[in-house]
Structure 1
């Protein structure tokens, strides 16, 4: 499939995207319950069990092993040769779905993980990076969630951010000037079931426990 056809991908509103950093079968199963259209970013297909067939395998296709096996099972290959973007970028550009759960992008190479975080900040859609311990996503300007008290709440700015307000956090964040080279907000703790966070602009990543994937996915 050529680059000109990427806008014609037949996918629903909810997609599970798998990458080459690996993921557990349990996490894959949990993700597919929420987002049942499966897509692989190039070598992410190598970690899929044989019964989990992706609709598409997207990227420069230099890492996927036995691509003909997947084609024989019904997968379609989408080759995008742009060397100025990561396979994760290629995928989220090609996928037009409203929500994406992304597995296998954060538990191995740190440079690949940081590149994925950069993509989260630049994207305008709801994309959830999921790893063994964490769920990471770009916080909307007005964010609220119901979690158990004493849940971990971490805020990491990818740009200078002011006017942050929050309710239900142990450590106050008001009147702070967040910056990736200055004040950050990791390892905060919830003191109420209902948490509210707001800020102006963009660029704030929220980092929480991945055990609450279903809560975040269904609440946003």
Structure 2
């Protein structure tokens, strides 16, 4: 599987990407990305209080940023905001089931919508903050795992200065030209141990290495300067990478 952050983040080619706004504050750089990428997305979704984030970030320009869908149990979004967007054509989908997070339920709605509309989707980009709650962060990571069971589209957590996604078992190539990558990267064996992981293109490569919590994890790694990083793993593995400041924008939350 080949991954190109420039395609994922609308920097080149005509990728058919979905933008999701969760119930979190977003950084200034992510807000700028949202403004420039909104009309390039094939579908735009707000997850519960993410609709309030959209209103706050866009202010008087919000009429130009109407989501296609708002989903959730609606414990974090006001009726006024729901009515505002409903009046502008947004489809409101109430998902009260408490067995899944609003994020997971939104991805299930996306699956239903894409199938019913025969909509091709290449990537799902979730606009995140730097998490101030560990439980929220872990819930997002868990959704990356659970979504692989029902959604055939990769899901990415974009935080302005970093990009994180799940690598399925197999071999992966990640495009890392110098203008894209930042100072650090990491491979984290969430979910289950990885018995054999091999990499190239990193400062500290792995060679048929076992990775597990309570043993070795590869955090605070960095890039060797090659244009491609390869990862071969026998189990799903979380990949996270810093993005170059000029590529990703500012870092202040709004």
Q: TM-score range by the shorter chain?
A: 0.7 to 0.9
Q: Is the 8 A contact 1:20 1:105 kept in 2?
A: no
Q: Is the 8 A contact 1:35 1:101 kept in 2?
A: no
Structure 2 length-normalised TM = 0.72
* Map 1:75-154 → 2, pairs under 5 A: 75-96=90-111, 97-104=121-128, 106-124=130-148, 125-140=153-168, 141-148=170-177, 151=182, 152-154=184-186
CA gap 1:36/1:108 in 2 versus in 1, 3 angstroms? farther
Pairwise CA distance, 1:17: 0.5
Give unpaired runs (5+ residues) of structure 1: 1-11, 214-220
* Map 1:1-12 → 2, pairs under 5 A: none
Give unpaired runs (5+ residues) of structure 2: 1-14, 112-120, 249-254
CA gap 1:153/1:88 in 2 versus in 1, 3 angstroms? same
RMSD (Å) for aligned C-alpha atoms = 2.2
Find the residue that maps to 1:201 and give its secondary structure: coil
| Selected match of 1:61 from 49, 66, 74 | 74
Pairwise CA distance, 1:98: 4.1
CA gap 1:31/1:208 in 2 versus in 1, 3 angstroms? farther
Whole-Å Cα distance in 2 between the matches of residues 109 and 208 of structure 1? 20
Aligned residues: 201
CA gap 1:30/1:196 in 2 versus in 1, 3 angstroms? farther
Residue 38 in 1 paired to residue 44 in 2? yes
Find the residue that maps to 1:116 and give its secondary structure: helix
Whole-Å Cα distance in 2 between the matches of residues 106 and 147 of structure 1? 23
Structure 1 length-normalised TM = 0.82
CA gap 1:103/1:75 in 2 versus in 1, 3 angstroms? same
Cα deviation digits, residues 189-217 of structure 1 (max 9, x gap): 22122211111132x1100124567xxxx
Pairwise CA distance, 1:132: 3.5
Pairwise CA distance, 1:104: 3.0
Whole-Å Cα distance in 1 between the matches of residues 40 and 172 of structure 2? 20
